[in-house]
Each structure stands twice: as C-alpha cells, then as structure tokens.
Structure 1
Amino acid sequence: MMDMTSAGGPDYTDADFQTVQRIAQKEAGICLPDSKKTLVYSRVSRRVRELGLASFRTYLDFVQAPEGQDELEKFICVLTTNVTSFFREKNHFTHLKEFVVPRLAAKARAGGRGRLWSAACSTGQEPWSIAMSVMAAFPEASSHDVRILATDINSDVVAQAATGIYPEAEVEAIPAGKRAQFMEPCGGGDFRFTGGICRLPAFRVLNLNADWPIKGSFSAIFCRNVVIYFDEATRERLWRRLADRLEEGGFLYVGHSERVASKSECGLEQVAPTIYRKGH
C-alpha cells in the first residue's frame, strides 16, 4: 500500500524504507529505527531529484546495481550527520596533551613512531584539533615520525578536511594563540592550516565496518559520536576492533553519550566517563 502520509511522498512505501534499512545495515552497520522514516525520505529524496530518477524505488534499485556503486557511497553518506567543531569536548584534548603526547614525544625523539587515529574525522575539525594539541606539547612533532590517521566513510568530507581550509565563523572556536600559530588567512574570510602541522594528518576514506588496510598500533584513537548509528552487536564488534589497534597503555576517546559496555572483554579500563585505557 502506498504511504500518502507526511512520512514521505506517494512513491515512498514502507517496503522502500525497509529496503533502506537493509542496505544501511549491510553496507555500513547503520541501524535505522522506524522513527527515522521521515528523515530518510527528506534526505534521500534530494538525491532522487538530483539524479532525475522517476521514483524512490527506481533510486533504490540503482544503488543496488553494479553501475550504482558510486551512488551507493553517496546514499550511505546522506543517512549520517556530520556535526563537528574544533576542540569539541575539550576535556579529551586536555587529556591527550597531558597523558598521551608526552609518552608519544619520548618515543618519537628516541627514533620510534607515533600514531594517533581520528576514526570518523568528518570535515576535519577533530584531526586538526588533535594536531594542534600535539604541536602545542611537542613543537617539533612534524620533524619526527608522528602522524594522525584521519578517516571517514564519506569521501566528500574527507576531501574537504584535507584542504585544511575553514571559514572564519568556524575557526573562532580555536584559541587566538593557536589560530595565529597554525593558520593564515587565505581570502574570502577563510583560514587555512599552514606550516609543519600540515605534515601530521593523513586523510583517507574508510568504512569502519569493512576491512581496515591499517598496519601498526595507535597511542590514542578518537571514535566519537559514531556508534550511535549502530546496533549493539555492530557497536561492540567495533569497540573490540579498535581496542585491538591500541598499543598497551593507549587511550580510546568516545562520544559524550557513548560507552563501551564490553570494556573488560576489550581489555579496557574506564579512566573517565568517555575515556578508556588499554591494559594497566
């Protein structure tokens, strides 16, 4: 039966929404409750119109076909929200600077490697905030083997993040001293990161629920406000995989409304409401 209610247009059926739920779960581990039916229509229908397709069903058939693989990525991206800002949840960056960077710096100065991971970097404010925190406590970091892996499932936001360019309204969240030290005006009211700090982040497209072509371990992993989209099984599987990538004594930072229910099984201990440490 056609759904003629406010939950969508006349070509958007319950079966269509169930198809969206199946694709989102299969491709990205995203769990869409029935309450998201209207939101899904408002977001996905824009893609239907932009592609000039006849109906919602035609679009869903397309993203499931071999020729629709590029659009499938865009489809997954419109189902998630990219909300971020510089130094969001400041306590994490204070903790990083005080408890992670000193040990990372000592290892790097001794000729070792230092790795941090922003696992859902969105438009880049998180990894650039990590980079500023590292440089503030370890000014010569860019001349050592120190890197910040910054990944996201959305190729568009990864490309945007890699430019290091942000409008003035967004960089106002950066303390004036850091803004003067790490950024420069680049016209049109925009600012960009400049100098040695630009050698720290490496931006890549990555689906957290697929294979990870990543080697080595990390001193800290930021995975914040991501698992809210996943069901419990997917969420706990991701926590275990992230914990496996932490070095002994490394830290996992999660979102303010998230928690690692299986922390013991992951070998993690909670040291603050949203901060976990691997091992003892």
Structure 2
Amino acid sequence: MSPAAHASTIRIDDDQDHLTALDYKRIATLIGDEVGIKLPPAKRLMVEGRLRKHIRALGLASFDAYCTYLFKQDGLVAERSFLIDAVTTNKTDFFREPEHFQCLEQRMVPALLEQRRGERQPVLKIWSAASSTGAEAFTLAMVLADLAAQRGDFRYAILGTDISTAVLAQGQRAVYPAEMITPVPPAKQARYLMFARKAGTRSEVRIVPELRRLVRFARLNLMDKSYPFDTDVDVIFLRNVLIYFDKSDQEAVIARLIKHLRPGGYLVLGHSESMIGTAITMRQVAPAVFQKP
C-alpha cells in the first residue's frame, strides 16, 4: 500500500507543520547510526526544509504522517536512501582549498614517483573519499593531467566515493552549472571543459571524455567496518567531512583509510580539520597533509 493511503486528507500549512522533538530525535539517531553524521537540535529546521517537498510528493499531509509511515509502517525500507541523500551536506567546489592541489603537484607527486623510480610509467592511485558531486575528483584529474603531460613519466587513476547516490550520479554525468567553474584556471577550462547552452536553459559545462575515463565513482559509507578498495593508494583526500563525526568515529575512519595507503602515501584532510590530525600516527608534511611511514 502506498504511503498516501495511510495519510490524513487534511493538509497542514507549512508554517504550522514541524517535526516533533521525538520524531526529529529518531531521524537524527538513524542518520548518526547509519552514516556517522551528527544532527543536533539546531539542524531541525534544515532537515524539515529538505524533507517538505518530498513529503508532499509522497501524498502525505504532514511530518507526523511521514514519521508514522517511516517508523510504524516499514517505510524506512523505501526511504532510507532518500533520507541519507536529503540530510547529507554536499558543499563542494572546484579547486577548493587550492594549497592542497599545489602541494600535490609540487611535493606529493614528485616524492611518490621518486619512491617508484624503478618502475616504468607507474600508475598513481588517488582517492577522493567524500567526493560529493565530483568537483574535487575532477580537480585532481585536471592537476594530474597537466603534470603527466609535462613529466611524461606516470599515469594516474582517480576514485571518487560518497554515501549519497544522488551526488554520485552527478559525478558520473560530469555536468555542472557554468558558474561552478569560476575557480578553474582559464587554461584548464580551455583544455578540460566543454561548454554548452541550450535555448531557455542555464549554461552548463561537462568534463572532457579524456578525464571522465580516468575517474570512476562508487558508493561508500565511511562508517562501514572495511572498504572494498585497493590497499596501495598513493593519496587519499578526505576533506571537510570528519567535522560532522564524533571523535571516536573520526579516529575509526582515519584508521581504516590509513590501511589503504601504500607506505609513503598521503592523507589530506580539510584545513578546518587540522586538529583532528593531531591523533594521526603519521608525519605531518604540510597543513592538514600527512604522510604514512
């Protein structure tokens, strides 16, 4: 039976309709247990705003009807993925915190290739572990593509992972509103972006096929006890995500990721997470950049 079949036919105005404290706590607990993201009471209005349109689309009259569907009528089976997508913060930009990409180009890649100087055309494996819509992954691809063209002595592959299926789908399409690419240097825009504008729509860009072929996306819950990916990764970017986790979950996620780094590999956190890095048993080589022994 559809959720609408259980709903009251009386529609409650949005300004009168809110999650009860108990229902919000149940949703917050579910999200915390599932993906590690903490939703304090101050986030209630944000969560309501992200759920309202969906609740109406289901034909439900109120938050109360929606929570009855979720918690008393087995609606969680159908709604779990949507709830995760809805409350996950997916702030991302191209060339966000640009110092890290400069460090990648000027320090990390040269050091990694020096370690593997006996190999012919080694493949550097880079992992964007909270990739959102893919802006970080494709920024990495642009930087590495330029560097590989200059040096001619390595290849690369990039993995982007996220808990949200919606943002992963956008990363796979590699299509972005044109206003997002303002931080991309003009030379890289010319080389790596395709511009298109259909009549009556906003301007969009798409990443060129040469880069799309070298970036793959996969769903990953960082709260999982193990990750089904390679254990010889050269660089892992995990930026501006751990701030939403509690301390024990932060440490557990970092410990799991370190297992996937090759000796001499690097873990890059967000600048706002630099204090989290004080618990990492790796050498800090730059702000929020750590190297595995």
| TM-score interval, normalised by the smaller of the two chains | 0.7 to 0.9
Tell me the CA shift for residue 232 of structure 1.
1.3
| Closer, same or farther: CA 276–51 of 1 in aligned 2, 3 Å | same
Q: Does 1:250 align with 2:265?
A: yes
1:149 to partner: Cα distance? 0.5
CA distance in 2, matches of 1:24, 1:185: 38
Counterpart in 1 of 2:88? 80
1:4-153 mapped onto 2 (5 Å cutoff): 9-10=16-17, 12-63=19-70, 68-104=76-112, 107=116, 110=120, 112-139=122-149, 146-153=156-163
Contact in 1 for aligned 2:120/2:153 (Cα 8 Å):
no
**Cα pair distance change 1:187/1:248, threshold 3 Å:** same
Structure 2 stretches lacking a partner, 5+ long = 1-13
What is the CA–CA distance in structure 2 between the aligned matches of 1:83 and 1:267, rounded to whole Å? Answer: 28
Larger radius of gyration: 2
Q: Could you say if the C-alpha distance between residues 177 and 261 of structure 1 is closer, same or farther in structure 2, counting changes exceeding 3 Å? A: closer
Q: Find out whether 1:191 has 2:198 as its counterpart.
A: no
What residue ranges of structure 1 are gaps of 5+ in the alignment?
A: 1-6
Per the TM alignment, residue 157 of structure 1 is displaced from its structure 2 partner at its CA by: 0.9
Which residue in the other structure is 2:165 paired with? 155
Letter in 2 for 1:229: Y
Do residues 239 (structure 1) and 239 (structure 2) align?
no
Q: How far is 1:101 from its partner? A: 2.5
Q: Does the Cα contact within 8 Å between 1:135 and 1:141 map onto a contact in 2?
A: no
1:227 aligns with 2:242: yes
Shift of 1:275: 1.4
Q: CA deviation at 1:118?
A: 0.4
Normalised by the size of structure 2, how large is the TM-score?
Answer: 0.83
Q: How far has the Cα of 1:145 moved from its partner?
A: 5.6
Specify which of 258, 283, 288 is matched with residue 269 of structure 1. 283
* Whole-angstrom CA distance in 1 between matches of 2:82 and 2:153: 37
Q: Identify the range of structure 1 (171-180 vs 210-219) with the bigger mean alpha-carbon deviation.
A: 210-219
1:219–1:247: 8 Å Cα contact kept in structure 2?
yes
Give the letter for the 1:102 counterpart.
P
1:12-43 deviations in whole A, cap 9, x for unaligned?
Answer: 21111110121011111111122222222222
Structure 1 residues 261, 226: closer, same or farther in 2, change over 3 A? closer
CA distance in 1 between counterparts of 2:232 and 2:16 reads: 48
Measured after TM superposition, the shift of residue 161 of structure 1 is 1.1
The change in CA–CA distance for 1:41 and 1:185 in structure 2 (over 3 A counts) is closer
Decide whether aligned partners of structure 1 residues 117 and 9 sit closer, same or farther in structure 2, where only a CA change above 3 A counts.
farther
Provide Cα deviations, 1:142-170, integer angstroms capped at 9, x if missing partner. Answer: 99762100011111111111112222211
Q: CA RMSD in A?
A: 2.7
Paired letter, 2:253: L
Secondary structure in 2 aligned to 1:257?
helix
Tell me: CA distance 1:38–1:184, structure 2 relative to 1, closer, same or farther (3 Å). Answer: closer
The verdict on how the C-alpha distance between 1:30 and 1:8 changes in structure 2, with shifts beyond 3 A counting, is farther
CA deviation after TM superposition for structure 1 residue 51, in Å: 1.5
Amino acid at match of 1:196: E
What is the percent sequence identity of the aligned residues?
A: 33
Equivalent pairs counted in the alignment come to: 272
Q: Which of 102-111 and 252-261 deviates more?
A: 102-111
| TM-fit CA distance, 1:119 | 0.7
Could you state the TM-score of these two structures normalised by the residue count of structure 1?
A: 0.86
Deviation per residue, 1:123-156 (Å, 9 max, x gap): 1110000001111111289997621000111111
Supply the distance in 1 between the matched residues of 2:53 and 2:247 (Cα, whole angstroms): 30
Q: Which amino acid aligns with 2:95?
A: F
